[in-house]
Structure 1
Amino acid sequence: MTDIATLRRQALGARRALNPDQTTHASQRAARRMARLPRVARARRIGLYWPLASEADPRWLAHRLADEVDYFFPRVAADTLVFVPVIDPLDRSGWPQSALGVFEPPGCGLPIEALDVLIMPLAGFDVDANRIGLGGGFYDRSLAAITGRGYRRPHFYGLAVEAQRVARFTPQPWDIALDAVITERAVYRRGTR
């Protein structure tokens, strides 16, 4: 069985091989597909991320959903993520850059469980919607305390381009399970096989 580090390198290499137009087109199609998911269409508080380099861009979702949706972006605080509301999900002016090189919104955030939907970046995924993160563990650590809750937690979705799909793998015990991964071609749901 291929190890996670190898799968991560494979997925990231495939993503980086796409040109910016291909990534934009795939992001737009994936956002259109995601907007049709009932839980996303009904959501009023959505956590997004600002895409780095060749990552799929979740901000296209803002073009597809109702104006009543509030958007939140992550900021690292004490080695975990907090989610800060932003007025315009397409504008990062005034956002400072973190030590990791990520632009993060200023201000106070709501607890993660206040979100209806959380869209996460990923390095790779498989057909069972298992996520390979970028290796920092920020999402896994931040969400670990609320993942077992059935009564109030956001729905967790990964956004990716199809090129990031890798062979099936067994997730690590600390990996946060996604409800689905959405690409320009398909919705990969957890546990539907």
Structure 2
Amino acid sequence: MPAQQSPQNERQQLRRELQQRRLALSELDLERAGQQVSEHLLSLPQVQQATTIGGYFSVKNELATGPALASLLAQQKQLALPVLHPFCKGHLLFLSYDNNTRFVPNRYQIPEPELNCQHIVPLAQLQVLLVPLVGFDAKGNRMGMGGGFYDRTLSGWQQGRYPNLLPIGLAHNVQQAEHIPTEGWDVPLPMIITPYKIWHFSD
């Protein structure tokens, strides 16, 4: 009999497979998906009513957030983008973002707002948080890049400390997996938006 994979190896293999699916998408696929997900997102009452929204800049064929961020700015929403915490390893801060924001590359070469303590937006002030992901399943389980940044960010929400926050995952259709193997620290999402569908999950 073949040796059974460890849960960690299973996760790593699935992550690679899902990343390959995403990398296989064409420029036209990426552009259409970004527009379709933006339309779904902007149609949500929770987003329409929100005043402060956390987003992210998409990289490496992630679901393109540019259309959504531009539309939200045009609607005068306060936006905040993630910054790697300078002191607490593995944690994120969120800094306010507008068309005048200056960006610098972080250690992963992802653009992030230049760190300025006066621009920090506390998580408790966000009503919606857009969450990147590598894969998801029909139960709302999320697989990220493996760094745990968003699981740490959302742990307080999972514990009920941010009752007014709605985390929303954004994904391509091809990022759905039959089953995402989970660990105790993983935080499932209550909603995920793909070009084809708005997924709602309940406990």
TM-score by length of 1: 0.89
Distance 1:59 1:113, change over 3 A: farther
Residue 167 of structure 1 aligns to a residue whose secondary structure is coil
2:13 matched residue in structure 1: 6
**Match 1:28 to one of 29, 35, 58:** 35
RMSD: 2.0
Letter in 2 for 1:73: L
Contact 1:46 / 1:69 at 8 angstroms: preserved in 2? yes
Matched residues in 2 for 1:74 and 1:15: separation? 22
Q: Higher relative CO (CA 8 A, sep ≥ 6), structure 1 or 2?
A: 1
Letter in 1 for 2:37: A
Contact 2:53 / 2:129 at 8 angstroms: preserved in 1? yes
2:110 matched residue in structure 1: 102
Contact 1:15 / 1:164 at 8 angstroms: preserved in 2? yes
Alpha-carbon deviations, 1:49-72, whole Å to 9, x = none?
Answer: 011120112231234446221111
Distance 1:143 1:151, change over 3 A: closer
Specify every segment of 5 or more residues in structure 2 that has no aligned partner in the other structure, as ranges: none
1:134 matched residue in structure 2: 145
Structure 1 position 190 matched with structure 2 position 201: yes
Residue 169 of structure 1 aligns to a residue whose secondary structure is coil
Q: Which has the higher helix share?
A: 2
Letter in 2 for 1:43: A
Matched residues in 2 for 1:76 and 1:155: separation? 21
Letter in 2 for 1:20: E
1:57 matched residue in structure 2: 64
Letter in 2 for 1:17: A
**Match 1:169 to one of 170, 177, 180:** 180
Count of aligned positions: 189
Contact 1:47 / 1:115 at 8 angstroms: preserved in 2? yes
Alpha-carbon deviations, 1:80-122, whole Å to 9, x = none?
Answer: 101000112xx76x31111121111022312112101000110
Alpha-carbon deviations, 1:29-65, whole Å to 9, x = none?
Answer: 0111111121112111111101112011223123444
Distance 1:151 1:100, change over 3 A: closer
Specify every segment of 5 or more residues in structure 1 that has no aligned partner in the other structure, as ranges: none
1:74 matched residue in structure 2: 82
Letter in 2 for 1:125: F
What is the percent sequence identity of the aligned residues? 29
Segments of 4+ in structure 1 off by > 6 A?
Answer: none
**Match 1:48 to one of 50, 55, 69:** 55
Distance 1:152 1:15, change over 3 A: same
